[in-house]
């Protein structure tokens, strides 16, 4: 594959990441979370995921490692205001699904003093690929 073709493919993935980040950011601003989360590919069964909105050519368009996809989400998030960990995880789940990779959005909470803190991250095969923080072990996953 030529350098131009690789560059075009990376740009397409970056634009897809930007689109999903903006869509989830706007959705979470205007809609309740209980309406947004079930539409994420991380919350759909594998059979439902494979039969909906993805054509075989859609997965062929994104061929990248989990690390590359996560890095793309982080880069694109710089251009989306308030691209929180939840927005990144949900958008990442979309991008991973389109790459044909199973990813799970995990939401965890922890107590810090009198307050509760929440954090969201994305896992592939039990490994955190997006949203890793230094003290992630302190969060207790919900659900």
Least confident of 3-12, 54-63, 105-114: 54-63
Helix (H) or strand (E) holding 20, with range, is helix 3-30
Sequence length of the chain is 143
Could you tell me the pLDDT band of residue 42, with boundaries at 50, 70 and 90? low
Could you tell me the pLDDT band of residue 49, with boundaries at 50, 70 and 90? very low
| Among candidate residues 134, 130, 129, 106, the one with its CA nearest the CA of residue 119 | 106
* Tens digit of each residue's pLDDT (9 = 90 or more) over 25-38: 999 999 998 888 87
| Among candidate residues 38, 40, 34, the one with its CA nearest the CA of residue 21 | 40
Find the Cα–Cα–Cα–Cα dihedral 35, 29, 121, 62, rounded to 10°. 80
40 contacts 93 by C-beta, under 8 angstroms? yes
Does this model's pTM top 0.75?
yes
């Amino acid at each position: 594959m030529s350098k131009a073709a690789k560059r075009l493919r990376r740009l397409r993935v970056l634009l897809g990441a930007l689109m999903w980040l903006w869509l989830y950011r706007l959705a979470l601003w205007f809609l309740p979370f209980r309406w947004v989360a079930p539409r994420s590919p991380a919350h759909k069964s594998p059979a439902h995921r494979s039969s909906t909105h993805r054509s075989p050519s859609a997965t062929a368009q994104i061929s990248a490692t989990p690390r590359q996809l996560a890095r793309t989400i982080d880069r694109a998030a710089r251009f989306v205001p308030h691209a929180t960990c939840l927005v990144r995880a949900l958008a990442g789940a979309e991008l991973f699904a389109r790459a044909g990779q199973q990813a799970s959005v995990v939401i965890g909470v922890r107590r810090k003093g009198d307050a509760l803190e929440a954090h969201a991250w994305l896992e592939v095969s039990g490994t955190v690929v997006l949203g890793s923080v230094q003290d992630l072990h302190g969060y207790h996953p919900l659900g």
